[in-house]
Structures are given as C-alpha cells and as structure tokens.
Amino acid sequence: MTLTRLKPAPALARTLLASATAILWLPLSSLAQQSPQTLMQTPLQISQQTPLQTTVPPSAAPAAPGSAPPMGRSGAIPMGKLPAGVVAPANPMQQSGTGAEAGTAAPASGVQGAAPMFEEEIVPQRYADNPAVDLFINDMVARYDFDAASLHTLFNQVSYSASAIKLVTPAPIPFRKNWHVYESRFVDPIRINAGLRFWHDNEAVLQSVSQQYGVPPEIIVSLIGVETMYGRYMGNFRVMDVLTTLAFDYPDTPNRNDRQALFRKNLADFLIWARNAGIDPTTVRGSYTGAIGIPQFLPSSIMQYGVSYSGAHNVDLRGNASDAIASVANFLKQQGWQSGRPIVWKIAPDTGSQGIAQAAADGQAPPHWPLGQLLRAGMELDEHNIDVPSELSTPVTVVDLPTPDLPTEYLLGLQNFYVLTRYNQSFFYASAVYRLSERLAALMQASGAAQTPPTAAMAPAAPAPAAPSPWPAVAPYPSAQPANANPAPAPTQPQAAPLMPSTGITPPLQSQQQ
C-alpha cells in the first residue's frame, strides 16, 4: 500500500510557505546588508534544524542517460545549493547531488517563489522478505559478520521513496543552460558573506589543512559554500530509505545495472560506516541520493576520503566543520590537485582566439590540448604572468560557459580545474566554485584577515550525538575497482565517473549533459 502525506489547501499552503520563508531567510537576507568586517565578528552556526520541504517549479531537464553529450556543456546546481529537503524539478540535473539546472526557476539560495510540498510517497515494508534484499543481507553477514536478524529488522523499517525515484529519473525534454543565471546564484552577496564568516570562524583549521594538503583555503571554503551553504542545507531525506530504494528499485534506464551496483556499494558502506561510528542508520538524513553532511559525501566517499581533523577514530561530516574541511582537502589532493598551480587561464577576447576556443571546446573535462597547439593555431591568452615557453606542453581543456542570446564565455581549464569537476562533473559547477573562491580570497586579503597566521590550532567542534550501534567496526565494502579508484587520469584519457562528494555519482544523476 502506498502512503501519501496529505497536502494542505492552496490558501493554507501559501500562508505556511510565506511564514516559513520569512523564518528561514530573514537571517540570510540580513547578511547581504552587512560588511565583511562586521560579518566576521559573528560566528556562523551549522544548522541542525529541518527546513520547510518544498518543490521548485517544473522546468526542462537534460537528455536521457546514454544520449547526453560530453560533460562540461552543463550547469547543474548541486544539492547543497538548495535548502535541505528542497526537492528539485521532477527531472533534476544529472549531477552529483543536485537540485536544479542552470537557468531554471529554482532559487539557489532560498525557497522564495517555490510551491510547497508536504508529502513524500512512501511504501512501507517493501523490503521486508524481499529476495534481492535477503541476498544482500546474506552477503553482509558473510563478508562483515553482521547479525542477520538485526539487518532483517532494519530493512523491515525501510520505506520505498517514490520521491527519490522521481528525482533521479531523467527527462527527455532539452533545456537551455544559462551560465549568467547559474553564476549569479552562487557568487552572490549572501553566499559570499556567509563564506567570509565561515572562513573567519575556521581560519586556523583552514590554514593548517591548506598547508598539509596543498589546497588553498578559498577553494575549500567555496566548495562547502556551494554544496550546503556552510552546513545550513544538508538534505532531509532518510538516507537508509533512499539508498535502499535506489539500490534495489532504480528506474529503468540504459545504465540501470551500473547505478544499482553503485548504490548497493554505497548502501553497504553506509551500514559499515554507521556501525563503525555507533550511529543508528535510521536517524541519518541527507540528499535524495544519500549524500551526507556539510560537504555532501556519499557513504563510499566518506569511507575513502573522510578525515578526522583531530585524529579521532570517527569522522563527523554532519556537525564538525573541521572534519568537513579536512575531508574536502583530502578528496581534492587524492584527485590530483597541484599545489601552487593555476586553475584557469583566460583567453583573449579577439575573434580569432574565440573562434579557436569554440572549435576546441569538445566537452572533455580532462586536460588534453597542449597549450602550444592552441597557440600555434592562433589563440592568444589574456594573461600577463605566464612563462609561455615553459608552459607549451601543459595540457588544458577548453571550458565553454553558454548563456542564451549572448556570446559563450570560454576559459582554459588546467589540472586543478579538472579536479574540481571530479567533485561534481559540470563545467558550470567548477567555474562557480572558482569564481566564488576568487571573490572570497580578494575580500579576505582586503580585510587583512587572510594575512594573519594562525596562532593556535582550532579544536574541532563537538560531534553531534549519535544513537548507539551494537555492531563491531569493519572495513569498507569491496568494489570492483581498487580502493583508491579515482586518481586523476592521464590528460588524454577520460575515465569513468568516480565515487565523489555531492551525491558522488554521475549520469543519470545529473552531471554530464547538453
């Protein structure tokens, strides 16, 4: 039997939405009116509250999986861009973790204008006495010494999430991507000011982590801001429900088997992680694909990239900003971040250079064009601090950022730009992170805060209390790939999607499209 939570009458819905919107957004709206110096005096709190659940207006969505063009001609908005519990259009962008496509009506940093949704279709006990689930349980018992009775009891409490299925199902209707709209949603006064406060509150940790991993503080701060507005919006779906639903009832798409295998691995790693951390798995909330915490890591990514800043046994990405900062830096380093190297180079605006960029924009994320080849073709750079002779062999990719009715913006992305796309496979996403990081770094430098060395290591925040788990700790669930399966590939060889933060997945979950 399918249970549907009742929706209120339209008039009541509008009243409730108006009230909830005012409660949720008055504090954020006030941020935009304050100077960076004032904001940095007030600590930014990570919200543990459950926001109003809403749905954005429907909009066009990407091509069906398997027919999507090369990655990079896109602009999906990550889950962190929408408040926790906010549901993307019926066919969201296929990107790791996320909400609405660039250029659609979904607000990136608020719920204004969104129609309220007070229901989620669920089917209770769908996974009780389910043959596929029984086989999964038997495997967990055999591999990791889980208690069979305890797992059967747990899966008896799991509900099928029709909302998660709707959100991962791609739509065939094309849409027009809009870089200017996308950028404005993430490089905006509210997010910038919140980022300055987060940086100020965690400056010692950021300095320490940056020195250890070689990743600039502004990149870490920007990623966390784009993902969850610094922990404010971490998702409101029960992770056990969505992972089980997607692991055993993934929609009928060309790559359904691969997707189910991915989610079964993440379901297994989620159970292992919960057991190791002593957490009741039914209490964990996240995105509609099971991404968890401040940086929106899938369980498999937590197991592979999660780092405890204090050196504690357990990694807390839900309530500990220090662990989130260290884990983001660790992920980027393992993906091949090059310390001290640029992220992008600007292309000269002349017609010839722009034409060459257009011809070379093939949507491939890994850098694969030698800079010298593009320069010999006639491209010129709009950069003044490059030792061109020493960079002729440097591989780059041409990043295209289209906006309807305006000339497409082109950039040359280097290895570090590619690493950002490993977090979320979208040129729009990586470009927004880069632009936001530039603004944050400039403002911090102008205020003098970024020039002040840390005087003492900042103690990590106390982890959120967790429901106890009786299971002993074990290692991650095995994958068909090696444990460290996501190193940056050679520039000329694109590789399969990694298990990464955000929802940690790629098509059909919104990441490669155009």
Tell me the per-residue pLDDT of 169-228, one tens digit each, with 9 for 90 and over: 988 787 789 999 999 999 999 999 999 999 999 999 999 999 999 999 999 999 999 999
Listed ranges 4-13, 25-34, 338-347, 439-448; the one with the highest mean pLDDT? 338-347
Q: What is the pLDDT of residues 243-276, one digit of tens each?
A: 999 999 999 999 999 999 999 999 999 999 999 9
Contacts of 391 (CB under 8 A, 6+ apart): 371
Q: Residue 213: what pLDDT? A: 98
Q: Who has greater pLDDT, 379 or 471?
A: 379
Question: Encoding tokens for residue 335?
Answer: 């993906």
Question: Which of 233, 214, 153, 198 has the alpha carbon at shortest distance from 471?
Answer: 153
Residues 321-330: what's their mean pLDDT? 98
Question: Which of 36, 17, 479, 41 has the alpha carbon at shortest distance from 261?
Answer: 479
Residues 334-350: what's their mean pLDDT? 98
Q: Residue 189: what pLDDT? A: 96
- Could you give phi then psi for residue 54, rounded to 5 degrees? -135, 175
State the amino acid at position 22 in one-letter form: A
Is a pLDDT exceeding 60 seen at residue 54? no
Q: CA 95, CA 478: separation in Å to the nearest integer?
A: 24
Q: Residue 447: what pLDDT? A: 86
Comparing 28-42, 376-390, 409-423, the range with the smallest average pLDDT is 28-42
Q: Who has greater pLDDT, 93 or 188?
A: 188
Residue 506 contacts residue 91 (beta carbons within 8 Å):
no
Give the pLDDT band (50/70/90) at residue 326: very high
Is a pLDDT exceeding 70 seen at residue 40? no
Is a pLDDT exceeding 70 seen at residue 97? no
Q: Residue 51: what pLDDT? A: 35
Give the pLDDT band (50/70/90) at residue 63: very low
User: Considering the chain, what percentage of its residues have pLDDT values greater than 90?
Assistant: 60
Residues 42-51: what's their mean pLDDT? 43
Q: How far is CA 308 from the centre of its chain?
A: 20
Q: CA 378, CA 360: separation in Å to the nearest integer?
A: 12
What integer best gives the mean pLDDT of the chain?
74
Q: How far is CA 245 from the centre of its chain?
A: 20
Strand 395-403 and strand 122-124: pairing? Answer: unpaired
- Tell the residue number behind the tokens 């991962």, with chain if given: 168
Question: Which of 107, 253, 101 has the alpha carbon at shortest distance from 176?
Answer: 101
Q: Residue 120: what pLDDT? A: 56
Q: CA 228, CA 233: separation in Å to the nearest integer?
A: 5
Residue 170 contacts residue 65 (beta carbons within 8 Å):
yes
Comparing 32-46, 115-129, 170-184, 401-415, the range with the smallest average pLDDT is 32-46
